């Protein structure tokens, strides 16, 4: 598995790194303080091609693959983790689902608009009674003529209020739990769609998280993605990419935690010494740096495997589980090294500390990742040493 960057990947990394440090950094603090979504930032990212990274050229994308998306999300998250949410969901879930499961007609109609950033794609799965347990979703979709009528609500939907395309998982057959689910592509101007409650979160303040309400929402039958009953398969099948995306986000957060810790610790003196000269600080730095390297290797490996078309469910879950955990220890230790000032809004680490937390919750909690990983590991043993 080659995790070295190609020339092309280094060029992509340089573009997004320069953009993040210059354009995004200029607005990130205020956007997170005021809780505003950065329309211009997404417009610029779209113009540079970042909203269609994995979409083939014939649908208006640049066809670069998961690995390039990882580099992109890592660099964005080093500056603003909120911005990475929409970029990740849009590319690794929405674009991916339309591309992999959509009809040719659907691809031609929607992908160019999505890849150009004109329509931001969001992913609506979670419901009040269905979080980790995807099979518990209740939102209904009933076919009537050449339309489906959707009823129910989705909660915690990232960027739901800015969506141009909403991928919705709903129930077409109340009798069958997992096989009774289907995926739909909904547009915000389909009649009966509205945005409900807006969440006030601990972190990711510049990324909106909202309820989406569907009241007799009429969706053209052609907007069924794949076939009826494929909802669960689509929901779970897209998770590998989504998880690699969140691992990349956590990786960027962790890297900034380390950067800030070292830069601060070199300046700050107590007891006549720089903080980085205390062994207590050094050990934290060593642990952070080692964890970040290990996390990067896991994440890059999963991305390379996905680009090569290899099954990578276990590897994607491992990358997400490990990276999101070490990101949280990294922000914790970095804030500790900052001392009292780290607890104030004056220092970056305060925001990154809050932003890191949710990475262990969304796109499958850490407990769910362990469920996935252990299931795969046991299966491997089952094959090697049949009971």
Ligand X SMILES: Cc1cc2nc3c(=O)[nH]c(=O)nc-3n(C[C@H](O)[C@H](O)[C@H](O)COP(=O)(O)OP(=O)(O)OC[C@H]3O[C@@H](n4cnc5c(N)ncnc54)[C@H](O)[C@@H]3O)c2cc1C
In degrees and rounded to multiples of 5, residue 130 shows phi and psi of: -135, 95
Instruction: Tell me how many degrees the CA angle 252-256-261 measures, rounded to the nearest 5.
Output: 150
In sequence order, what are the residues at sequence separation of 6 or more whose Cβ sits closer than 8 angstroms to the Cβ of residue 315? 298, 301, 302, 305
- The DSSP bridge pattern shows strands 269-270 and 273-274 to be antiparallel
- The interface with other proteins within residues 14-33 (CB under 8 A) comprises 14-15, 18-19
Which tokens is 35 given? Answer: 């809780």
Give yes or no for a contact between 220 and 146, defined as CB atoms under 8 angstroms apart: yes
Cα 307 to its chain centre, rounded Å, is 17
Q: Tell me, by CB under 8 A, how many residues bind other proteins.
A: 20
> For other proteins, which residue of 3, 25, 33, 47 counts as binding (CB under 8 A)?
47
Closest to other proteins by CB, 8 vs 293, is: 8
Out of other proteins, ligand X, none, what residue 208 binds, judged by CB under 5 to 8 A for its kind, is none
Partner touching 278 among other proteins, ligand X, none, CB below 5 to 8 Å by kind: ligand X
Choose the binding region for other proteins from 4-12, 97-105, 208-216, 282-290 (rule: CB under 8 A): 4-12
The answer to whether residue 271 forms part of the interface with ligand X (CB under 6 A) is: yes
Tokens of 356: 């890191």
Report the DSSP beta bridge partners of residue 210: 157, 198
Using CB under 6 A as the binding rule, whether residue 131 contacts ligand X is answered as yes
Helix (H, G, I), strand (E, B) or coil at 184: strand
Dihedral angle computed from the Cα positions of residues 301, 307, 310 and 315, in that order, rounded to the nearest 10 degrees: 30
Q: How many helices (H) and strands (E) does the chain have?
A: 13, 10
Which residue in 265, 310, 347, 257 sits closest to 77, CA to CA? 257
- If the CB atoms of residues 199 and 307 are measured against ligand X, the closer one turns out to be 199
Our finding on whether 272 is near ligand X (CB under 6 A) is no
Which of 15, 135, 140, 336 forms a contact with ligand X (CB under 6 A)? 336
User: Long-range contacts: 336-345, Cβ < 8 Å, 24+?
Assistant: 336/284, 337/261, 337/264, 337/265, 337/275, 337/281, 337/284, 338/260, 338/261, 338/264, 339/268, 342/264, 345/33
Nearer to ligand X, 3 or 198 (CB): 198
Cα(10)–Cα(27) distance, integer angstroms = 25
Distance, C-alpha 310 to centroid of its chain: 21
Catalytic (active site) residue 127: no
Residue 236 and residue 342 in contact, taking contact as beta carbons nearer than 8 Å: no
Scanning the structure block, which residue is given the tokens 């680490």?
Answer: 349
Q: Which stretch binds ligand X (CB under 6 A): 106-114, 188-196, 316-324, 339-347?
A: 339-347
* H/E segment holding residue 317: helix 313-338
Q: Tell me how far, at minimum, the Cβ of 129 lies from ligand X, in Å.
A: 8
According to CB under 6 A, which residues from 168 to 187 bind ligand X?
none
Which member of 75, 346, 363, 367 is catalytic?
363
Which listed range, 213-221, 321-329, 364-372, 378-386, lies at the site for ligand X (CB under 6 A)?
Answer: 364-372
Question: Among ligand X, other proteins, none, what binds residue 7 when CB lies within 5 to 8 Å by partner kind?
Answer: other proteins
Task: Give the pair of three-digit tokens for residue 235.
Answer: 């929901």
Span interacting with other proteins, options 8-16, 213-221, 247-255, 310-318, rule CB under 8 A: 8-16
In whole angstroms, the minimum distance from the beta carbon of 252 to ligand X comes to 16
CB of 260 or CB of 296, closer to ligand X: 260
DSSP reduced 3-state for 245: helix
Judged by CB under 8 A, which of 39, 57, 133, 345 binds other proteins?
57
């690699």: which residue's tokens? 244
Please work out the total of residues on this chain that contact ligand X, with binding judged by CB under 6 A. Answer: 31
Closest by CA to 281, choosing from 233, 335, 325, is 335
With binding defined as CB under 8 A, does residue 53 bind other proteins? yes
Structure tokens at 289: 């740096």
Residue 59 is a binding residue for other proteins (CB under 8 A): no
Tell which positions 67-106 bind other proteins, by CB under 8 A. 68
- Pick from 308, 367, 380, 382: which binds ligand X (CB under 6 A)? 367
Which residues contact other proteins by CB under 8 A? 7-8, 10-12, 14-15, 18-19, 47-50, 52-53, 57, 62-64, 68
Which residues contact ligand X by CB under 6 A? 89, 122-126, 131-132, 156-158, 201, 204, 209, 268, 270-271, 275, 278, 280, 336-337, 339-340, 343, 358, 361-362, 365, 367-368
Active site residue ranges: 363
């Amino acid at each position: 598995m080659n995790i070295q960057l190609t020339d092309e990947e280094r060029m992509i990394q340089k573009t997004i790194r320069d953009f993040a440090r210059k354009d995004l950094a200029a607005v990130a603090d205020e956007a997170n303080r005021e809780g505003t979504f950065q329309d211009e930032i997404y417009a610029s990212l779209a113009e540079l091609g970042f909203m269609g990274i994995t979409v083939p050229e014939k649908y208006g994308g640049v066809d670069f693959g998961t690995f390039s998306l990882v580099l992109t999300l890592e660099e964005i998250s080093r500056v603003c983790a909120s911005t990475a949410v929409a970029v990740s969901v849009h590319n690794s879930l929405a674009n991916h689902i339309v591309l992999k499961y959509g009809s040719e007609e659907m691809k031609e109609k929607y992908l160019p608009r999505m890849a150009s950033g004109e329509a931001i794609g969001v992913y609506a799965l979670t419901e009040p009674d269905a979080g980790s347990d995807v099979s518990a979703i209740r939102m209904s979709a009933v076919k009537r003529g050449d339309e489906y009528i959707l009823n129910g609500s989705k909660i915690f939907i990232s960027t739901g209020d800015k969506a141009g395309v909403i991928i919705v998982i709903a129930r077409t057959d109340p009798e069958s739990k997992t096989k009774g689910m289907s995926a739909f592509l909904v547009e915000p101007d389909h009649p009966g769609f509205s945005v409900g409650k807006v969440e006030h979160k601990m972190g990711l303040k510049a990324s909106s998280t909202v309820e989406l309400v569907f009241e007799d929402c009429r969706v053209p039958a052609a907007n069924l993605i794949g076939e009826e009953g494929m909802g669960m398969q689509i929901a779970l099948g897209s998770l590998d990419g989504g998880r690699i995306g969140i691992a990349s986000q956590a990786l960027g957060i962790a890297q900034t935690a380390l950067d800030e810790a070292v830069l601060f610790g070199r300046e700050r003196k107590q007891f006549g010494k720089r903080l980085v000269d205390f062994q207590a600080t050094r050990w934290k730095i060593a642990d952070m740096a080692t964890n970040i390297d290990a996390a990067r290797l896991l994440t890059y490996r999963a991305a390379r495997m996905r680009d090569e078309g290899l099954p990578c469910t276990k590897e994607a879950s491992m990358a997400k589980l490990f990276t999101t955990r070490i990101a949280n220890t990294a922000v914790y230790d970095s804030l500790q090294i900052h001392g009292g000032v780290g607890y104030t809004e004056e220092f970056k680490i305060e925001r990154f500390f809050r932003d890191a937390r949710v990475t262990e919750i969304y796109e499958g909690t850490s407990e769910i990742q362990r469920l996935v990983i252990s299931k795969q590991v046991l299966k491997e043993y089952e094959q090697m040493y049949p009971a």
